Each structure stands twice: as structure tokens, then as C-alpha cells.
Structure 1
Amino acid sequence: MRPSTLFTRVARGKWLHAAALLLAGCASEPPKSLVTPFPSAKPQPQPQTTTPPAAQQPMRGVWLATVSRLDWPPVNSVNVSSATQRIQMQQQALTAKLDRLKSLGINTVFFQVKPDGTALWRSNILPWSDMLTGKIGDDPGYDPLAFMLEEAHKRGMKVHAWFNPYRVAVNTRPSTLTELNRTLSLHPASVYVLHRDWIRTAGDRLVLDPGIPDARDWITSIVAEVVRRYPVDGVQFDDYFYAETADSPLNDSQTYRTWGQGFASKADWRRHNTQLLIEQVSRTIKQINPQVAFGVSPAGVWRNLSHDAAGSDTRGAAAYDEAFADTRRWVQQGLLDYIAPQLYWPFARQAARYDVLAHWWAQVVKPTHARLYIGVALYKVGEPSRTEPDWTVEDGVPELQKQIDLNEATPGIDGTILFRENYLNQPQTQPAVRYLQRRWGS
């Protein structure tokens, strides 16, 4: 799911995944090197599973986004007057997608259950998502997460509940604020009205302030609710931790004054906050159900070699410095069952070569129990690009083939995840889809 700033690109009027990084040279003075040492504490033991890791089927996954109804539910379903018809349209659309995915050999769906401050399950903490009905808090008449789990499991497919942890709303328009304020009379109401002191603006969106301990506890409670109540196979956070932009930074100065004592810099304090969230979510999931996998899908570059001796030979915006997410450390400490870096560039993109990053991540996971799944840019396949022309050479099929070949041949890489589902249905990707059908499909 997933980013100088991590950001979401817009293409053809649609939001793209947060890891479509702005690649740039490192002309500015690099920050002080802070190579992450291996922890002195023993890593958490890997939970025992009934299937030995070596015998597990390679991950062949896809992200299915619900934010802005990018992949599901159908946009026109919320405009019908009949609730029965709406439910039927949404459920039929989802089962049709699952049938198509299964025919392509996809075995895991990363289903976005928390696109913002709303839920696609029957929650006691979050109001119902307006993605389902057009209005925040309106009961859709069924439980989408329960329906997804039942239908996917029936087809032998796994489901990971995909959360955007900190986002409250995708914009700050007056109409959005009015809709959020309207939830005050609902049970549950939006966090926007219940905990206004947690809310900030960043990246032109409403977000929770990651530096507030109660806000992190609240996020953890949301994950716990899903893991306790639903037979999910995994939980995934995307790369939105500190997701500010130069034009819309997160104003957490007061939070830093309150909670940042003892840190050498605000950057170190921010990374500490993200670390605490990952630690407590990981611990909570394992306490509830050790069989549920916990993973993160970060921006593809942890740090650049020019900034850190442990970094990759790349020149991309780095999660460590931009999102204040020390993703490499989480793997080293055994906090994650898997990591799914978004490597959304071709082999020929010198600033962030696909093969360079894939091999770098394989070395990171090598001494740990974490599994490595690589996020692949299906959304770029067949799209003209001046900086990345490989995506249109022979309709992008050779580039996609090279990336999957590398994933399936490299020890330590356990699978591939495509971003994102609806691009399987676009005209420009159909040669690539036919290739996937031949390679993976039944």
C-alpha cells in the first residue's frame, strides 16, 4: 500500500500509491549518518506455523484499495436508491474480482479496511466508511470485511487487512469538515470530533499526530478489534507514517515540546514515535493471535548510500529521512513477519534500480525470520514515461517479466504484490495481464 517528501501522485484523475517517490539527486547536505545497529535484545521468536516456511507457496498478491473507491466498491453503487440493489452491486463486484484474481493465480488480497478515519467492518471504534454508502456512519447493511474473508477463503485465497494508520480524511474541504462534525451524534463518532486535539493537517489531509501516545494507543486498539473479531490472515500498514509535504507540513511543534524531551532532534523523536507504534501493534497482534502475520509496505528506499553506509546504492527519497520510519530496524528487531517494499521503478532507472533495491532488501531480511515480498508497479505498465520508457517497450511486458523473474529466482524474496487491482482491468495493461495469466494462472 502503499511517499525529498513521500507523496501520492495523481494520474488519469486517480490517486496513486504513496510510494511513487519523487526521485532527486542529493545536492543538499546529507543528514548525520545514523547506521542502525542490530539490537542487543533477542529478536522475537517466529511464531510456529503448521506449514514450514520453505514449503509455503510464494506470495502472489494484489493491493485492493477502497480509498476514493479506487478499486472497490463501484462508484455507481452508492448512487442507487435501493439499499438491496447497492449491496448486490457491491457484493457481485467483489466476487467477480476475486474470481478474476484466482484465475490469474493471485493467492493473497491486501484489502484496505481503514482508508481514513472510517471502517469497512462493523466497528465499535470507527464509524462506517462513506465509501460504502456515500455518508460517513451509515450502516451499509452488511459487513464488507466479513464478506471478503468468507468469499476469499472459499476460493483458497488469503486476506490481509490493510490499514492507513494516521489518515483521518483525504482532504480538508469545508464539506468534509461538515460531514465529520455531523458524526458527533453517532455511536461511534469520528475521531475528528471525539479527539480534536489529536488532529493535524499534513499533505493537505487531516491526520492524527503520531507524537501523541493516546493516538498511537487508539490506532492499536483498532487493529486489535479486527484481529480479535475476524479471521484475517495478516495485517498491513502502508507507508503513511509522517506523510507531510513541503507545502503542507505537519505542525507538531507543541507535541514535540511536550513529548520530545531527551531527543537530540525532532527527526530522532519522530522516528521514535513510529517505532513505538510498530512495537505495540506487533506485540498486540501476537498476544491476540500469533498466527496473524504483521507487515509493513514502506517506500522502497530505506536510506541512500550517500547518507548512510548501510543504505542502498540509490538516490531516492528515503523512508528513514522523509517518513521517519526506520523500516530496516523493524526487520532486524523481529517486529515484522514480513516487509513489502514498494519498488516502483524499472531496472534502467539509475536513481533507484529495481534489481539494486531488491537485492539490498534480500540482504536485510537474510539474518531474520521476516519474509520479503516486493511491491511491483502494475500501474506504470503500458503508461508512457519520459524518465522510465521501459514501461511501454513491448507494452511493458519484458520489464514486468524481468522483475518477476528476479523475485522468483532470488533467495530471500518470497513473492510479488501488484499495485493495484483495478489496473488489471485497464486497456494499457492487458498484454501484461495475459502474460500473468500464462505465468501464474490456472
Structure 2
Amino acid sequence: MRQYKRAIAFVLILAAVIAIIPKNDSERKVEAAPAATPTPTVATSPSSTPAGTPVSTIYPETGTIETAAPTMVPTAAPTATVTPAMEVTPVPTPVITPAPATEEIRGVWIAFYEYKKAGLKNKSEAVFRKNADKLFKKIKDNGCNAVFFHVRAFDDAIWPSENFKFSSYMGKKTPNYDPLAILVESAHKYGLKFHAWMNPYRITQKKIYDPAKKSTTSRIMLAVREVIDNYPVDGIHFDDYFYPGSGHKQYKKYASLSNKQKKANVNKMVQTVYGNIKVQNPNLLFGISPAGNVEYCESLGADVKTWMKGPGYVDYIAPQIYWSNSYRVGKKTVRMFDNRFAKWKRLNKGNIPMYIGLALYRGGMKDASDRGWRKSKKIIASQISKIRRSEKAYGYILFSYESLYKKACRYEVKNMLARIARIKVTKVNTDGTTRLKTTVWPARLGQTVTWKSSNPSIASITNKGRIRVKQNGIVKFTVKKAGKSVSVKINTEDL
């Protein structure tokens, strides 16, 4: 009995001790403060990031992206236990030697202000798809094989995003479909490469993110990753906007920085973007289109000489050489296009593929400094010929899409198409009749051609390519279109 009483006493004491011990953290009933919905507006300062947005820290030396936990909005609820951010295994930045260009790039830029004329602003999904198809068919018909489409002009997006506001140039609000997905799909349907064109630093026409801040590079990479992780684009493309030039509202803010400091800050960003793209997909291209004046580039922080020395920065470079060969400097006429083109080739020590930006928009333009655009109608055609003869240049990009159909540019376009034109001839036998079938490229030239027989007494030919044999013999048929001609010899005994 005494042992029984002792046991009861022990149990009672143990229960009392347990009652005063606090419960484990995992058993507490605590509500976590909900994450804020990202604000779909441009950040008010270069370092600000919308609440709830995962902030990526990017290390240029390694290309590693470490994403911190989203900022939590405090509420009246008790503080929740915070889960530590997941560790990221450092990934060394890959240095990939750009592959030799295997085909000529014939590109065109489509800028943010061209969405409306292209029928892409504030449209239903059905109309958007239809107009996207029309847009890319027209581009293909002009002989192009690549588009450089503005997807991020002012720290915004033309795709549904929780981190960036939807582009007001595409619509008033994010639509219930994904414009970028449709655009990439449509471009590929017409055999066009789709390069996502972004302005890295620009927030508005008067404000940029500070290139020296890590948070700026993090925000740029956030946009790049959203695109390359979710869309089958063929590349990421930056233009010539880096530090502001002398006419910009924020010029004085950065005026104390030397060109060396500016270039160092921009180079860190460029290396980070390049490295992260190559980790994601080594086949994705990353390129930059700087201004055509090298000294001006350097004043903005665009270190084009370093970018072209070797791998690790860009896969290609597309300098905007927007001059004719009749540029006036004082009383002298300077062959500005030739001079600038030659300089870029000399500086390209690493043989980085060059796609030359051409100023189609200046066709027919009256310019006191650059009179060539008014005097000649074959400037673009001539420049394309020079690019094709160069060992370091592998194509061109036209600025911009609207100029292909602008009245003032019509003769430049016509002569450009004639310069790149090709005619293919195939022999077709149908119901005992022989016909020479032609295919003219680019399609915008039209398919109407002119045929001529070298000896009509042996055989004649209609403009539809139908051969009419009169006697045995050898005859040469020549087809002409847009200044191009192709000849075919036929032995009438074989027909």
C-alpha cells in the first residue's frame, strides 16, 4: 500500500511539472503576416523595390543569384517564426566564346511607340493574335529573318508580371492573355528569330536607376529571368541607354563620375546578365546595340572596346551607324558611314559578330548636316553591300519597323529590296507542257517577272514561264526582276 501511495504521489508531481513547461514553438498557434501584393508601378527611387518582391543579390564574379525572402508587411498578429532563406550553391560565370555567325542577320527593331500602329494596343486576344500575324508576315515579306522587339522600355513589361507594371504603350491594364507569349509564337511561325529588347536602366524619359547600385542590377536581372525562364525567346537585347547624356535631366547627378567609373559600373551589370543567361541556356544570345560614335559611347559608360576584346560580355554587338557618306563637318563633306564602320571593325579585336544598325528612318529626310539622305535613294542598299563584303559584319538591323512603310522611305526600301533580291527557277512538266516556275524573294517585290528567249525561232516563253517549242536546238531563257536576272539553258529535244 505504501508503494502504491508513493507511485500516486510521483505521478501527481510529474503532472505538475509538465503543466508549467511551455509548449514547443511548433505548437504555438501563430498567424504569419501576409506578404503584400506587389505594387504594379515604377519604383519611386532607383533603390526601391515593391513590397513582397523577392530581391535577388547578384555576384558579378560568379554569376550567382541569391534570392532573399520577400519583405513581409507587419500586422497586429504575433510575429511568426521566420524560415531562413534557402542557400544557393555558387555557380561560376561561364565564359563562352561566341560561335561564328552561320547566317546573315536581317533584322528590324520594333519600338514601344510602334505597338499602336501595329494594332497591338488595347486589343482582345483574337484581334491581338491576328494583328501579330500580320505584323510578322510583313516583316518576313521585307526579307527580314529576325525581330528585336521592345519588351521592357521603362522598367515595365509586356508580359503578365508581379514585379513590373504592364506597359501603358501596350494597354491600360494587364490583359487576360499573355502578349509576349503570342508575339514569340507568331514570330517563330513566320521563321523569324525573336530577340527581347530591353532598356536596362531607364525608368522614365527623365529618370534612370543608378547603375552603381547592386539593387539596380538585381532588378534588371529580375526582368531578364522572367523572360528567359518563361518564354522561348532567341536572345536578350540591350540598346544604347546607359548613363545619361548631357541633354538628360539627370546628367548633373552623375557628372562627377569619370568615364572609367561609369564603364566599371556598367561592365559589372553586363557581365552579370551575360553570365546568368549562359547558365540558363548557353544557346541564348545576349547582345548590345550601342551608339555609333565610340567616344560618345564611353561617355555613357558603354565600354565597347572591352566588350569586343573577347568573350564574357556579349555574343554580338550592333553599333548604330546612322550616317550617310555625305556628312558635313564645317565646309568639308565626310564619308561618315565608311569612317565609323571602319573604326568599329578595327576596335573589334575579339572578332565578336557585328550586326550593323542602319537608319532606314532617315530615308528622304532633309538634314543640313547629313545631306546624303535627301540626295540619294540608295543609301541603305549601298550600306548593305558594304556590310556583306566585310569579314567581321554578319548582317544588319533596320530602325525601325514603321519606316518600312513610311512614304518618305519608299525609294530606300524599294532599292534595298532590289539589292538583296533573289530569283529561283525550277522546271515543271505538267500535262506535256514545260514551264519554268520562278520564286522571287523577298516576297514584297511581287512575283511578276519578265522572261526573254535568246532565240525565239527555236523556242519562245511567256511571262508566266510557259515554253513553246518550234524546233530542236539549245536556247537560253532569262528571267528578270528588280534589276536581278537568272538564265537557264534548255535543249528543246529534252522537252
User: TM over 0.5: same fold?
Assistant: yes
In structure 1, stretches of 5+ residues that fail to align are 1-41, 171-204, 257-264, 304-317
Query: Within the alignment, does 1:74 sit opposite 2:117 as a pair?
Result: yes
Deviations 1:329-366, CA, capped at 9 Å, x for gaps: 1121421100000000012225671111212222333x
* 1:387 Cα deviation from its structure 2 partner: 1.6
* 1:409 Cα deviation from its structure 2 partner: 0.8
Query: Within the alignment, does 1:420 sit opposite 2:412 as a pair?
Result: no
Query: Within the alignment, does 1:276 sit opposite 2:268 as a pair?
Result: yes
Q: Closer, same or farther in 2 for the Cα pair 1:109/1:76, shift >3 Å?
A: closer
Alpha-carbon separation, structure 1, partners of 2:248 and 2:342: 34
The CA RMSD over aligned residues, in Å, is 2.4
Q: Closer, same or farther in 2 for the Cα pair 1:77/1:246, shift >3 Å?
A: closer
Alpha-carbon separation, structure 2, partners of 1:43 and 1:224: 17
Alpha-carbon separation, structure 1, partners of 2:378 and 2:389: 16
Counterpart pick for 2:374 among 392, 399, 412: 392
Over the matched positions of the two proteins, sequence identity in percent amounts to 31
TM-score (norm 2): 0.61
Deviations 1:63-105, CA, capped at 9 Å, x for gaps: 0001xx2x213388757xxx63xx4444333221211111111
Partner of 1:380: 362
Deviations 1:38-62, CA, capped at 9 Å, x for gaps: xxxx9933266xxxx35x2201000
Alpha-carbon separation, structure 1, partners of 2:227 and 2:96: 23
Alpha-carbon separation, structure 1, partners of 2:150 and 2:370: 28
Q: Closer, same or farther in 2 for the Cα pair 1:250/1:285, shift >3 Å?
A: same
AA of the residue aligned to 1:295: G
Alpha-carbon separation, structure 1, partners of 2:314 and 2:345: 15
Alpha-carbon separation, structure 1, partners of 2:335 and 2:269: 28
* 1:209 Cα deviation from its structure 2 partner: 1.2
Alpha-carbon separation, structure 2, partners of 1:329 and 1:77: 38
Q: How does 1:309-324 map to 2 (within 5 A)?
A: 318-321=296-299, 323-324=300-301
Query: Within the alignment, does 1:353 sit opposite 2:388 as a pair?
Result: no
* 1:279 Cα deviation from its structure 2 partner: 0.8
Q: Closer, same or farther in 2 for the Cα pair 1:284/1:77, shift >3 Å?
A: closer
AA of the residue aligned to 1:74: K
Q: Secondary structure at the match of 1:347?
A: coil
Partner of 1:262: none
Q: How does 1:34-433 map to 2 (within 5 A)?
A: 44-46=95-97, 53=100, 56-66=102-112, 69=113, 71-74=114-117, 78=121, 84=124, 87-134=125-172, 138-170=173-205, 205-246=206-247, 248-250=249-251, 252=253, 266-303=258-295, 318-321=296-299, 323-334=300-311, 335-349=313-327, 353-365=336-348, 367-393=349-375, 396-433=376-413
Q: Closer, same or farther in 2 for the Cα pair 1:418/1:120, shift >3 Å?
A: same
Q: Secondary structure at the match of 2:140?
A: helix
Q: Closer, same or farther in 2 for the Cα pair 1:115/1:351, shift >3 Å?
A: farther
Alpha-carbon separation, structure 1, partners of 2:298 and 2:185: 38
Q: Closer, same or farther in 2 for the Cα pair 1:148/1:237, shift >3 Å?
A: same
Q: Closer, same or farther in 2 for the Cα pair 1:247/1:299, shift >3 Å?
A: closer
Q: Which has the higher strand share?
A: 2
Alpha-carbon separation, structure 2, partners of 1:429 and 1:132: 26
Q: Closer, same or farther in 2 for the Cα pair 1:92/1:277, shift >3 Å?
A: same
Alpha-carbon separation, structure 2, partners of 1:78 and 1:160: 20
Alpha-carbon separation, structure 2, partners of 1:247 and 1:215: 19
Deviations 1:286-333, CA, capped at 9 Å, x for gaps: 011110111000011223xxxxxxxxxxxxxx1102x12111111214
Q: Closer, same or farther in 2 for the Cα pair 1:58/1:247, shift >3 Å?
A: closer
Alpha-carbon separation, structure 2, partners of 1:105 and 1:75: 18
Which one has a bigger Cα radius of gyration? 2
Q: Closer, same or farther in 2 for the Cα pair 1:406/1:427, shift >3 Å?
A: same
Deviations 1:101-120, CA, capped at 9 Å, x for gaps: 11111000000000112101
Alpha-carbon separation, structure 1, partners of 2:228 and 2:119: 31
Q: Is the 8 A contact 2:363 2:412 kept in 1?
A: yes
Q: Closer, same or farther in 2 for the Cα pair 1:247/1:230, shift >3 Å?
A: closer
TM-score (norm 1): 0.68
* 1:142 Cα deviation from its structure 2 partner: 2.0
Q: Is the 8 A contact 1:209 1:252 kept in 2?
A: no
Alpha-carbon separation, structure 2, partners of 1:292 and 1:358: 26
Q: Is the 8 A contact 1:116 1:169 kept in 2?
A: yes
Q: Which has the higher helix share?
A: 1
In structure 2, stretches of 5+ residues that fail to align are 1-92, 328-332, 421-441, 444-495
Larger RCO, structure (CA 8 Å, separation 6 or more):
1
